[in-house]
Every structure is written in C-alpha cells, then in structure tokens.
Amino acid sequence: MSVRESRVLAIIGQGYVGLPLAMAAIDAGWKVIGIDNFEAKVSQINSGISPVEDISDSQLQAALASGAYRASSDFSSVAKASVITICVPTPLDENREPDLSLLQNAATAIAPFVSNETLIVNESTSYPGTLRDIIIPTVDSLKPKDSINVYFASAPERVNPGDPVWNQKNTPRLVGAIDAASQDKAFAFYESICDFAISVSSPEVAEAAKLLENTFRLVNIALINEFTQLCASSGINVHEVIDAASSKPYGFMPFRPGVGVGGHCIPIDPLYLTWWASKKGNKADFISAADAVNQRMPRYVAKRALALVDSSRINPRVLILGVAYKPGVGDVRETPVAELRDYLLAQGAEVAWHDPLVSIWNDSEPVDLEWKCDVAILATKQPGMNVKALAERGIQILDCTNSLKNVAGVTAL
C-alpha cells in the first residue's frame, strides 16, 4: 500500500483542464500524478507529446524529466496524494440532459484508494449540488474504511484554452467547501497555485457561479446573433453598430456574432442550468430561447453564404475555413461548423474544409486553400490561414469572424 505524501496532487482527467492544472501545480512545487483512463493519451503524454495546445511539448518534457510529473491510468496511485482534483468531461446525453457518468466513474475509481485527511475537489462543471449529491456519497460508500476522514470542496475550472493572457495562475479561483476544515484545506491548496483564491460559502455557490458565467456568455452571444439578423435584413453592418455602442463608457459589453457556440462549455453548461431548474420545478425560458437562437445560427450562415453564389449554380462548391469552435485551438467538440456543413450538404452543396490546427474531422481530411470553390465561409479565424489570398483570387467570402475588414469580395456576417 502506497504511503500518502504531502504536496502530492492527483488529477483525474488529463485534458484541456487537467493537464494545464498539472503544469501550474508543478510550477508551484507540487508533485503531480496525472490520471486518465484513456491509455493511449497516458502513453502520449508520458512520451512527451502534449495533447493540448496550451501546454507545449517542451514544457511537458521538462515536467517529466524533473520527476515531478507522470501520467498514469492506475487509480491506486491516488493513495499517495494529499489532494485529488477531478477534471473529467461533463457532457450532455442524447436527450441534451446532463451526463454525469464520467464524473461518477471517476469518483467510484478513486474512492477505494483515498487516504485519511485527503482533500477531494471537483473542478468539472456541473449543476449546483453535484459535489453533495454524487461525489460525496460515492466516495463515502466506497472508501477503504469508515474511519477515513475526507475533505470535500468544489472549485470549478475557468480555463480559457488558447488565451494568451488568462491562465490557471492568474485567473481567480472560486472555492466552496462542505465545512470549515475542508474550506481551509481547499483554499490553501488553490492559494499555493493561483494568484487569487476566493472563498464562497458553499460548494453550491461555486457550482452555480460557474454556470452563471457561461450562461451569461450564451445569452449575450444569442442576443447579438439575433440582432445581427435584424441588422442584415436592413443592410446595416452589425459590427459598426457594436463598435458604436461600445463607445458608451458604462453598461455595455460588446459580443460578436458567429456561426454559433461550440466547445465543452458555452453550449453545454447552460443546459445543466435549465435541467437543474426543471428538476426543482422551475423554468429557465430565457436560457432555452438563447440556446434555440444559437442553434439556428449555422443555417442562417449557410443561407447567407449560398446567397453569394450565382443562383444558376446547381451544386455550389463551398469551402469552410476553420472548423474548430474557436481560434487558436484544434478542439472541434460541439463545433457549430458541423451543423453548418450538414445543412450545406443537405442543400446540395459540395463542401470542403480547411483548418491548420485540425488534421481530421468527422472522418474527413482538410483540403488546401487552392480547392476550387464558389464561396468560402470564414467560420473560425485560425492562425496561419492566408484568407486574404483567397479574396485576391476573386473568391467571395462570408466572414463570420469580423477579421477581414475593407477587403474586396468579403461580406461581413
């Protein structure tokens, strides 16, 4: 049986959240065991190849070489840890309701190995009550001995992949625990890694704050997506309107339209909130309406792009530029570009895509910018994509990113 050591952190899930947390903790002097149940990913990480853009291979290799970090799929190694953080996906199921099976599996897998006085923190995004309703009962029922005392807290991750400014260290972290002793332990842990830790009165406040943050983005993006359609139908450039409104020094925050919302957070987390509301007999109509507006956006974009093509063209060739859900990452989870492509195909278009950060997507490979097309849709402005060269070849471009201003042949969404 392994003996628990101080300043040893076990992180369950080595993805966009878990691996950057591991590197930040190492910088703060922790030893880290990065646990992931996807063995191919564990091997890749241990061979020094980072699976996420925010961590370079050289940073990962330095961490491995220092002996402070190792990835593993062996859950028994959590017995060595004084702190265990859970950073696993919390997606939606086929009914677009919370799927907490991975979180449940993670809690089940660590529980038999927790040591006395271990702190367990959930960082995965979920509805208020998840720590108390799922993680604590699971761990308490499966821990090696009843006498083992475990501390519990919730500290939802706020990482913004691809962000050059905000990271694990300088983004303030909310910490809410189940009792004073857990709060002290969790606060001290995050204070050792982050510049600012902020105590809130319960795990539920921390969990709800995370959902509020992402729902705030969802509804504002939906508002601007709807507003864009209103402006476009009157020939008004919405970006000029947003710039004009942004001159107001208070009470306004600019959001930009786009193909929709994607990634693991913005399209999903608000639905955790609507589900939670309905479980409590409440309604969250405003959030549901915002979700519906964003879901319709890919079709609107497709129609706008096809309107730029000569109507005599039976099967127009459409090139989609950027398929990741946002610039600077190769993450295609929940990308609204999938719906855009499906809708274009359903309209009889021939569709190809180009994205320097994505090598394979939906079993298809990218084309280069020479692919002959009738119209291009700039969906995500990836670095290293010379879109202006396309415009110079006389190709019509629908720019959904507001990045090609005053370029001939470019229409802004």
Ligand X SMILES: NC(=O)c1ccc[n+]([C@@H]2O[C@H](COP(=O)([O-])OP(=O)(O)OC[C@H]3O[C@@H](n4cnc5c(N)ncnc54)[C@H](O)[C@@H]3O)[C@@H](O)[C@H]2O)c1
105 in contact with ligand X (CB under 6 A): yes
Residues 348/314, Cβ–Cβ less than 8 Å = yes
> CB count, 10 Å around CB of 164?
8
Q: Least distance (Å) from ligand X to the CB of residue 13?
A: 3
20 in contact with ligand X (CB under 6 A): no
38 in contact with ligand X (CB under 6 A): yes
Phi/psi at 78 (nearest 5 deg)? -65, -15
Q: Which of 231, 265, 373, 400 is catalytic?
A: 265
Q: Would you call 12 helix, strand, or coil by DSSP? A: strand
Q: Least distance (Å) from ligand X to the CB of residue 139?
A: 14
> CB count, 10 Å around CB of 406?
5
Q: Least distance (Å) from ligand X to the CB of residue 318?
A: 29
Residues 304/399, Cβ–Cβ less than 8 Å = no
* Cβ closest to ligand X, residue 110 vs residue 413: 110
204 in contact with ligand X (CB under 6 A): no
159 in contact with ligand X (CB under 6 A): yes
366 in contact with ligand X (CB under 6 A): no
Residues 253/315, Cβ–Cβ less than 8 Å = no
Distance CA 81, CA 59 (A): 23
x/- binding map, residues 218-257, to ligand X, per CB under 6 A? ----------------------------------------
* Cβ closest to ligand X, residue 13 vs residue 316: 13
Which segment (152-160, 235-243, 375-383, 390-398) binds ligand X by CB under 6 A? 152-160
CA nearest to 318, candidates 346, 348, 350, 356: 350
46 in contact with ligand X (CB under 6 A): no
90 in contact with ligand X (CB under 6 A): yes
User: Can you tell me which of 54, 157, 291, 339 binds ligand X, judged by CB under 6 A?
Assistant: 157
* Cβ closest to ligand X, residue 23 vs residue 308: 23
Residue number of the CB atom closest to ligand X: 15
Strands 197-199 and 396-399, bridge-based pairing: unpaired
265 in contact with ligand X (CB under 6 A): yes
Q: Least distance (Å) from ligand X to the CB of residue 164?
A: 15
Rounded to the nearest angstrom, the gap between the alpha carbon of residue 32 and the centroid of all alpha carbons in its chain is: 23
Within positions 111 to 130, which residues make up the interface with ligand X, using CB under 6 A?
Answer: 124-125
User: Can you tell me which of 10, 11, 13, 114 binds ligand X, judged by CB under 6 A?
Assistant: 13
Distance CA 160, CA 163 (A): 6
Task: Identify the bridge partners of residue 410 per DSSP, sorted by sequence position.
Answer: 397
Strands 350-354 and 317-321, bridge-based pairing: parallel
Q: Least distance (Å) from ligand X to the CB of residue 36?
A: 4
Q: Least distance (Å) from ligand X to the CB of residue 108?
A: 8
Per the listing, tokens 């991975």 go with 102
* Cβ closest to ligand X, residue 159 vs residue 412: 159
37 in contact with ligand X (CB under 6 A): yes
Q: Which amino acid makes up residue 272?
A: Y
Structure tokens at 255: 């959001």
User: Can you tell me which of 11, 45, 79, 88 binds ligand X, judged by CB under 6 A?
Assistant: 88
Task: Identify the bridge partners of residue 34 per DSSP, sorted by sequence position.
Answer: 11, 71
Strand 375-378: give its sheet, edge to edge: 350-354, 317-321, 375-378, 396-399, 410-412
Residues 308/375, Cβ–Cβ less than 8 Å = yes
336 in contact with ligand X (CB under 6 A): no
According to DSSP H, which parts of 50-200 are helical?
57-66, 101-110, 130, 136-142, 180-193
50 in contact with ligand X (CB under 6 A): no
288 in contact with ligand X (CB under 6 A): no
Residues 385/327, Cβ–Cβ less than 8 Å = no
- Our answer to whether residue 373 is catalytic in this structure is no
89 in contact with ligand X (CB under 6 A): yes
Instruction: List contacts with ligand X (CB under 6 A).
Output: 12-18, 35-38, 41, 87-90, 102, 105-106, 109, 124-125, 157-159, 161, 264-265
Q: Catalytic site residues?
A: 265
